[in-house]
């Protein structure tokens, strides 16, 4: 299952920014999760405490089980 450099857009609220991670709240999943800053491909400082579309590495979202491991919507495999 190749992850590659794919990103997934999710709606979330960045609640806090620490040294190398951000605490992100995902209202659709009802979870607050620390995510490493290198996995978020959106401007962090400009969207603090605002709901916005975040681009996050797909491999990390699958690792923490926020999105399903074998979801064709998030896989870049062509059948």
40-76 residue pLDDT tens:
998 877 778 889 999 999 889 999 998 888 776 665 5
Is 79 among the domain residues? no
Beta pairing class for 7-17 and 51-57? antiparallel
Q: What is the mean pLDDT of residues 10-22?
A: 92
Residue 1's pLDDT is 47
**Which phi and psi (to 5°) does residue 67 adopt?**
-120, 155
Average pLDDT over residues 13-41: 93
**Residue 72 within a domain:** no
Name the phi and psi angles at 43, rounded to 5: -75, 120
Ramachandran angles phi, psi of 61, nearest 5°: -65, -35
Number of domains in the chain: 1
pLDDT at site 68: 84
Look at residue 14 and give its three-state secondary structure: strand
Could you list the residue range(s) of the whole structural domain that residue 13 is in?
Answer: 7-63
């Amino acid at each position: 299952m190749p992850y590659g450099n794919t990103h997934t857009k999710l709606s979330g609220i960045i609640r806090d920014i620490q040294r190398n991670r951000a605490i992100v709240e995902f209202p659709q999943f009802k979870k607050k999760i620390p995510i490493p800053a290198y996995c978020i491909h959106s401007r962090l400082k400009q969207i603090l405490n605002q709901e916005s579309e975040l681009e996050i590495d797909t491999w990390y979202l699958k690792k923490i089980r926020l999105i399903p491991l074998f979801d064709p919507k998030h896989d870049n495999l062509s059948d």
